[in-house]
Structure 1
Amino acid sequence: MWAAMSPLLASGYRRSDAREETGALEQVCIAAAMLAPALAAILVVRCVEHSGQLRDTLALRWTKPWGRTARACLMAFTVPAGLTTTALVIGTFAGRYPFGGVHWNGLGVWAAGAVLNMLVSLPLFFGEELGWQGYLFPRLAGDGDRRSLIRAYVVTGAAFALWHLPTLLMGGQYPGRPWYVSVPAMLVSCVLILPVFTWLRLRSGSVVPAVIGHAFVSSVSVGMVKEFADSTAALDPLHMGMAGWPGWIVNGAFVAFLALTGRLRPSFYTARTVPHLASTRAR
């Protein structure tokens, strides 16, 4: 991550406005950085663990019954969309999100374009989630006892957040905010959103729905904040959307529901659905 971001760090790049478009150099650096977790996971599996087929080890598969994975992929669209909408409603009623209304005439075109852009960028999110959900979380979860699961969720979420440190220092996720605000905010955001991605991965036995969910949150969800805001108002991600405190409330409530109903435990699902998690410790 640091190596990929070094051209931007050396140039003194800083993002000061949430509406600022991403330039060509920034896109190249971000793309290279997003491949790092998957590269690390592949190297460790191949050269250190020698633990078998990459597809099985990193859950890079479409598991049977196929309909289960397909439904999880659909939920990877609908659940983040619902969470984002709820967060924007909370921000609006709290007076922190400058809601500008819904432009129904062009909404379909915007939504289609947003989803298309997300699908184009999907390979980059495999670069992240093969590291987080494919490799790191299953190893930390172990046999799935309560202590191991808590450790897995917290440590994976913290690693997910701190991996973003170079971009946080450049104002990437929280433009204009100092590091001592953006870093803790990112830690909270990632620790709360990671169980949602893990839930998608557990219920399907595949990393694919987690990749789709992550891509939606990082692209379409951010686009929703801009699309429905007053075009003349300043945007502060700390107070709106999934990366701000309204999103923390919504994600926290949803994660609490998943936890209380047992859906964040691998044992909630059948061994056939998530064979890798059941056999990780044995390997």
Structure 2
Amino acid sequence: MAQRRQAVKELWYFLPATYLGAWVVTTPLWLNGFRRSAPSQHANSLAQACLFTMMLVPAVVAIALTLRRHPWRGVPRVLALGLPRPRRRVIVQCLCATAALPAITLAGLIPATLLGAYHPVWPESWWPVLALPVSAVVSIPLYLGEEIGWQGYMMPRLTLRFGTTTGICLGGVLWGLWHLPMTALGGSYPGHPLYVAVPAAVAVAVGAGALIAVIRIHTHSVWPAVTAHLGLNEFALPLPQLTSAPDHVPDPLFVGPLGLLTLPILIITAAAALFTVKGRRGQKIR
């Protein structure tokens, strides 16, 4: 009971600080008047800088709160930053985690193609495709910045208080709403009103967040969760754009890992993954 009360208290510190931090670091975009209005419109340098900074906010808050109760040497243990042995198994887990959401995205492109929302072609140049792994490796600190907060700090406390399934699903909702500063500027669903974009973003976050959380629980480490998140952003998100006809830019609201045509596959997969995690209220995730 005392652990559950402490978990709730720590969440009351973590969530407001993380949400406030996201809004603060994206303030320059609001002042600048930036808004993404079409899928073909790319983020400018200011938007990228704000997004990258925003991704580091959860880790900064989580580490700061952890240091209130633990010394520096205890931070990796508390936030599940260790690499369990054998190391070879962790590498395999990370590779499988990286492939999870791109595989779901590929499955979602089938109904998108049949319904005419996606027009697949071979890429005119393979250089952008070959550049994806390089971008992924360089971006690891950004995804680590998010998952230290979400899976290292928030998720264990949510599951301790609400139980495994409810805690994971609630974590997905909170993760999706945390993106609101960017979603409101057309980040994930350019050209769509907020009343469409926000529910879609939250629904996808619940499904993707559940998969990432289950990976984190099974592997007892944040690192495979980091690679799962990396697989979503660095491989699954660019996939439809890189393989679609130039005159048919796919709408991310319908096509791709964030799309409504992929969402049923994502939710079914996430529900199956949740069945593999046995937990109850009051059980601590290590």
Give yes or no for TM over 0.5: yes
Partner of 1:277: 285
1:58-78: CA deviation from partner (whole Å, max 9, x where unpaired): 111111122321121011222
4+ residue runs over 4 A deviation = none
* Aligned match of 1:237: 252
In structure 2, give the amino acid aligned to 1:220.
F
How big is the shift at 1:54? 0.8
* Paired position in structure 2 for 1:113: 131
* Offset, 1:241: 0.7
RMSD, aligned α-carbons: 2.1
2:147 alignment partner, one of 129, 132, 137: 129
Aligned partners of 2:157, 2:130: CA distance in 1, in Å?
37
Q: Are the counterparts in 1 of residues 83 and 90 from structure 2 also a CA contact under 8 Å? A: yes
CA contact (8 A) 1:174 1:182 kept: yes
Q: Secondary structure at the match of 1:35?
A: helix
Letter in 2 for 1:50: H
Give the corresponding residue for 2:122: 102
Q: Name 1:81's counterpart in structure 2.
A: 102
1:171 alignment partner in structure 2 = 186
Q: Equivalents in 1 of 2:198, 2:223: separation in Å? A: 28
String of CA shifts for 1:71-118, please: whole Å, max 9, x gaps: 210112222221111011121112222x23234x854x4433111111
Is structure 2 residue 40 aligned with structure 1 residue 40? no
3-state DSSP of counterpart to 1:239: coil
Contact 1:100–1:229 (CA under 8 A) maintained in structure 2: yes
Deviation at 1:39, TM superposition (A): 0.8
- What is the 5 A alignment of 1:137-152? 137-142=155-160, 148-152=163-167
Residue 154 of structure 1: CA displacement? Answer: 2.0
Conserved in 2, the CA contact under 8 Å of 1:72 and 1:203?
A: no
Unaligned 5+ runs, structure 1: 268-275, 279-283
Deviation per residue, 1:214-263 (Å, 9 max, x gap): 1121122111010111111132111111101122111112112223xx32
Q: Could you say what secondary structure the match of 1:225 adopts? A: helix
Q: Is the 8 A contact 1:72 1:209 kept in 2?
A: yes
| Structure 2 partner of 1:272 | none
Letter in 2 for 1:26: A
Unmatched segments (≥5 aa) in structure 2: 1-21
1:69 is matched with: 90
Q: Is the 2:109–2:255 Cα contact (8 Å) retained in structure 1?
A: yes
Does residue 60 of structure 2 align to residue 29 of structure 1? no
Answer whether contact 1:202 1:266 (CA < 8 A) is retained: no
The answer to whether the 8 Å contact 2:117/2:250 transfers is: no
Q: Tell me how far apart the structure 2 counterparts of residues 178 and 8 of structure 1 sit (CA, whole Å).
A: 18
* Secondary structure of the corresponding residue to residue 177 of structure 1: coil
How far apart, in 2, do the equivalents of 1:234 and 1:53 lie?
A: 48
Inter-partner Cα distance in structure 2 for 1:40 and 1:165: 18
Counterpart in the other structure of 1:161: 176
SS at structure 2 position matched to 1:59:
coil
How many angstroms apart in 1 are the aligned matches of 2:142 and 2:136? Answer: 10
CA contact (8 A) 1:100 1:231 kept: no
The counterpart of 2:233, out of the listed 211, 214, 218, is 218
- Corresponding residue pairs, total: 262
**Counterpart secondary structure, 2:215:** helix
C-alpha separation in 1, matches of 2:205 and 2:33 = 26
TM-score of the superposition, structure 1-length normalised?
0.86
Residue 256 of structure 2 aligns to a residue whose secondary structure is coil
Query: Aligned-pair distance for 1:43?
Result: 1.1
